[in-house]
């Protein structure tokens, strides 16, 4: 839940530049989606998520929605699982004695 809230807050604050910007070309949608995808890639490099991507929501970006100045994007990601249990299995072997005495 914590990473979920962090991502949402970062997307809102980090993409204020996309408000009041002309969205009359595909470039606008590409820039926003690329910006979010790059942010998710940084989180992946940091180990916070296993991966993620952003893309325009074709279903919601209807001509009427766009005419009203509303742009929709989908972002999906997989949070990195948190280790809750470690198990170590012991194996005793004589294999490492082969290097002795020679």
**Cβ 54 vs Cβ 33: under 8 Å:** yes
Number of domains in the chain: 1
Q: At 99, give phi and psi (nearest 5°).
A: -85, -10
Q: How many residues does the chain have?
A: 102
Domain coverage including residue 28: 2-99
Tell me the whole-structure pTM to 2 decimals. 0.81
Q: According to the model, what pLDDT value does residue 61 have?
A: 98
pLDDT at 91: 97
């Amino acid at each position: 839940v914590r990473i979920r809230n962090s991502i949402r807050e970062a997307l809102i604050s980090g993409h204020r530049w996309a408000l009041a910007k002309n969205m009359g070309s595909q470039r606008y949608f590409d820039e926003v989606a690329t910006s979010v995808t790059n942010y998710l890639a940084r989180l992946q490099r940091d180990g916070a998520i296993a991966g993620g991507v952003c893309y325009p929501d074709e279903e919601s970006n209807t001509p009427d929605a766009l005419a009203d100045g509303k742009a929709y994007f989908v972002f999906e990601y997989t949070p990195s699982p948190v280790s809750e249990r470690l198990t170590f299995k012991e194996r005793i072997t004589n294999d490492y004695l082969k290097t002795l005495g020679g």
